[in-house]
Amino acid sequence: MGISKQRQQLLNRWAFILSIPLFFGGWEIISRSGMVNPVLFPPPTLVALALYKWATQGPLLVDIAMSLSRVLVGFISGAVAGILIGILTGRYQFIANLLTPVFQLLRPIPPIAFVPIVILWFGLSELGKWFLVFWGVFFTVWIAAHLGVQRVDKTLIRAAQCLGTPEQKMLPEVLLPGAMPYILVGLRTSVSISFYTLVAAELAGTFSGIAYRIDIAQQNLQVGQSLGGLIILGLISAMADKAFGVFSKKMVWWS
């Protein structure tokens, strides 16, 4: 029984190790087998070559830096606003009745639907890109904070009130720590949302960024660079999600 369990653990480990190599190996075989058009679906070796040229002959680092700056500004502003307003709507019924119907009306609107309006409002400025990322992040964080505050153990709230805790201390010392696990789930979900919202933001008109280069490469039928840009976006998003997961575990050590 012990040997079987060890074998299962070994198989699971090798499955994890070989997952990415098998994916790219299968991609390489399919692309070169003649089953698909290699111009429209180039093998990963040609994608890697396109990425190398992008890095050595083009502004790859500048594009990555610009995209990351848009994600950071939009994510931080959306997260801060979502947490603050979510705590208030979760705690005070009057504020919830005032804002929740409006938020529930606006929340289903995808950020990409705002692209034409954002161009009219902000032109090609960075403010428009920040706004689109903010929009994608805000509602996810807001609803997580709102539900988190509402699900804080009522016994803790009553105990704090019995001990004479004033309302201005109730929010940061009782409600925020109690809602933190929910908030962190919303924040982690928003990390991925901010990256795919970035695509819509950079399609709103810009002259740099990973999604912008993907669009330009697609127009010039440079499919290798387009796929390379998608891989970079996926890699950066996965790294950000992994880092936030580690951060979340340290933040909610008491749960």
Would 39 be classed as within a structural domain? no
Residue 176's CATH number:
1.10.3720.10
Would 155 be classed as within a structural domain? yes
Q: What is the total count of domains within the chain? A: 1
Residues of the chain scoring pLDDT < 70: 1-3, 252-255
Cα distances (angstroms) measured from residue 21 to each of 24, 25, 30, 223: 5, 6, 14, 21
Would 26 be classed as within a structural domain? no
pLDDT score for 1: 46
CA distance 168 to 195: 35
Measured at the CA of 136, the angle between CA 232 and CA 179, to 5 degrees, comes to 110
Would 12 be classed as within a structural domain? no
The greatest distance separating any two alpha carbons of the chain, rounded to the nearest whole angstrom, comes to 75
User: Could you tell me the pTM of the whole model?
Assistant: 0.84
Q: Which two tokens stand for residue 171?
A: 């929010």
CA dihedral of residues 128, 133, 136, 137 (deg, nearest 10): -130
E-state strands within 30-122: none
Would 164 be classed as within a structural domain? yes
Q: 70: closest CA among 212, 245, 248?
A: 212
pLDDT score for 76: 95
Would 19 be classed as within a structural domain? no
Would 35 be classed as within a structural domain? no
pLDDT score for 115: 83
Would 23 be classed as within a structural domain? no
Instruction: Identify the domain containing residue 217 by its residue range.
Output: 46-251
CA distance 237 to 136: 15
pLDDT score for 3: 60
pLDDT score for 114: 83
Q: 252: closest CA among 182, 171, 174?
A: 182
